[in-house]
């Protein structure tokens, strides 16, 4: 039988102390994505939503370019958020210690939303609802930048394999659909179609190194 997956919150809380160094070592492209992301945020941006912000690795380049920006960060793991708060105490940040699958993100509030290395744990139906809420939270012409662990090759067999393994894990351990740390990388094609279905007008890949992929999605302008 496969090993019982760790609860998401425990997984990240117990690794918060060593997270930054490990993350940069472990992901394809290392720290490059954290430098790259800031350039896709529109020049006029004043408000930013960061989903699964963790210790805020992605915020360093963003605060360098936008020192006055108001950031709302959502994360389940309080220990990760403590690290973020200590690093960026001189910036405008509102931290929400909660689950972005259920937190109310509001409507028409943000110029940009980002998520780095957090959404590859969820299923199609969870993502469809999440992306719809992100789209709703943005102002018209707002952008969503998703940088995540995806299947760089568009081989849908890999995605199907991870999804069926996840089902097996849930059954074997008699678990309900809850927040466990289990990776399900989707193909780029599939991510693009979920984002489009959720109301984004244009979705394109803007950057990638192997399985670390960055997509830029724009909310439709009001007619």
Taking the C-alpha atoms of residue 68 and residue 63, their distance in angstroms, rounded to an integer, is: 8
Stretch that binds ligand SAM, among 39-47, 48-56, 87-95, 153-161 (CB under 6 A): 48-56
Nearest to 33 by CA among 131, 151, 134, 117: 117
Residues 124-143 that bind ligand SAM (CB under 6 A): none
Tell which one of 77, 135, 151, 194 touches ligand SAM (CB under 6 A). Answer: 77
Structure tokens at 178: 């809850």
Q: What are phi and psi of 86, to 5 degrees?
A: -70, -35
First to last CA, the chain: 54
Residues from 185 through 214 that contact ligand SAM (CB under 6 A):
none
Residue 52 engages ligand SAM in binding (rule: CB under 6 A): yes
| Sole binder of ligand SAM in the list 37, 49, 62, 74 (CB under 6 A) | 74
Does residue 8 touch ligand SAM according to CB under 6 A?
Answer: yes
19: left (phi over 0), alpha (psi -120 to 50) or beta: alpha
Q: Could you say whether residue 57 binds ligand SAM (CB under 6 A)?
A: yes
Binding site for ligand SAM (CB under 6 A): 8, 12, 23, 52-54, 57-58, 74-77, 80, 99-101, 116-118, 121, 179
């Amino acid at each position: 039988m496969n090993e019982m997956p760790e609860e998401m919150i425990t997984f990240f809380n117990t690794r918060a102390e060593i997270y930054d160094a490990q993350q940069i070592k472990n992901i394809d492209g290392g720290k490059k994505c954290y430098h790259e992301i800031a350039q896709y945020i529109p020049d006029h941006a004043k408000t930013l939503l960061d989903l699964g912000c963790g210790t805020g690795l992605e915020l360093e380049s963003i605060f360098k370019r936008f020192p006055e920006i108001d950031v709302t960060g959502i994360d389940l793991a309080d220990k990760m958020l403590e690290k973020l708060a200590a690093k960026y105490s001189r910036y405008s940040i509102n931290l929400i210690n909660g689950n972005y699958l259920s937190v109310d993100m509001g409507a028409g509030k943000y110029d940009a939303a980002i998520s780095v290395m957090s959404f590859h744990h969820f299923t199609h139906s969870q993502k469809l609802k999440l992306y719809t809420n992100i789209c709703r939270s943005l102002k018209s012409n707002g952008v969503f930048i998703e940088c995540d662990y995806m299947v760089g090759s568009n081989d849908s067999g890999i995605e199907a394999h991870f999804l069926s393994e996840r089902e097996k894990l849930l059954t074997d351990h008699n678990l309900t659909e809850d927040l466990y740390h289990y990776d399900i990388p989707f193909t780029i094609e599939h991510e693009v179609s979920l984002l489009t279905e959720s109301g984004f007008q244009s979705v394109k890949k803007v950057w990638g190194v192997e399985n670390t992929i960055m997509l830029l999605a724009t909310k439709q302008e009001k007619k």
